[in-house]
Structure 1
């Protein structure tokens, strides 16, 4: 009997940083959590295009996708997230069916507003020494090794 291949989902998110250092975040409509805008990569799109689409759909902000800053895997769900640093280029903040609030968050509020697994994505992108590769269980990071 053939062994079934593991199934993974690939998501993308944009850490969009303004000139004043503030980061674009949304409050998700489904669970109220603060996160960088992002979502599941569609089969027919490249990662950079997916990031730009997700950020625009969820926030109204058009971005230029700069560089990959990290790869994060949810070990329980099999979701691999590709995180990119972005620069805003146009648009006006607005909510969507997926977001109940859109804000430009100061970096010192990231840890208090976001869960560990999303805060680390923002902080890694701000640090700029990536790309980082990290695993988590959906709530907390799993130490490498």
Structure 2
């Protein structure tokens, strides 16, 4: 007997300022650093979900530029759609979900984030406009040969 697949779809925004710094949050529940994002609501468009999640978690309103990657957490059945964005207005503020909001350099992203979140940001910074598709187990990429 086969079971019906159950997946959750999440969205995240890699928000890049003109000076190259990237918007990052430190989650309040587990203290990890990640790009802002969360679960896409049933009745919203994908781009609206990106804008809502970034604003709710950081206080920054963004323009969504392009899809930069699709990531599947095989352990949890979560598919994440990651978009490159630019800040439009607002200022950094905390929410119930965020312990800190910072603008990090690419080097700080690598040093402060786990691999599966840092790669999303570095993928979004690429000049190649083709979105990447990657899988991971929640901590480590499973397609290492594609990671660069």
Q: The TM-score by the shorter chain falls in which range?
A: over 0.9
Which residue pairs with 1:31 in the alignment? 30
Q: What's the C-alpha RMSD, in Å, of the aligned pairs?
A: 1.2
Cα deviation per residue 1:35-66 (whole Å; 9 max; x = unaligned)? 00000000011111000000000000000001
Structure 1 position 29, deviation (Å): 0.3
Which residue pairs with 2:76 in the alignment? 77
- Shift in alpha-carbon separation, 1:60–1:76, aligned structure 2, 3 A: same
> What TM-score, normalized by structure 1, do the two folds share?
0.96
Question: Aligned equivalents of 1:101 and 1:122: distance in 2?
Answer: 18
Question: Aligned equivalents of 2:100 and 2:144: distance in 1?
Answer: 34
Which residue pairs with 1:57 in the alignment? 56
Structure 1 position 110, deviation (Å): 1.1
Number of aligned residue pairs: give it. 144
Question: 1:8-47 alignment to 2 at 5 Å?
Answer: 8-47=7-46
Contact 1:135/1:144 (CA < 8 Å) preserved in 2?
no
Structure 1 position 128, deviation (Å): 3.2
Contact 1:134/1:144 (CA < 8 Å) preserved in 2?
no
Could you tell me which runs of 5 or more consecutive residues in structure 1 were left unpaired when the two chains were aligned: none
Could you tell me which runs of 5 or more consecutive residues in structure 2 were left unpaired when the two chains were aligned: none
Contact 1:75/1:137 (CA < 8 Å) preserved in 2?
yes
Which residue pairs with 1:120 in the alignment? 119
Cα deviation per residue 1:64-101 (whole Å; 9 max; x = unaligned)? 00100000000011000000000000001000000010
Which residue pairs with 1:107 in the alignment? 106
Structure 1 position 144, deviation (Å): 6.9
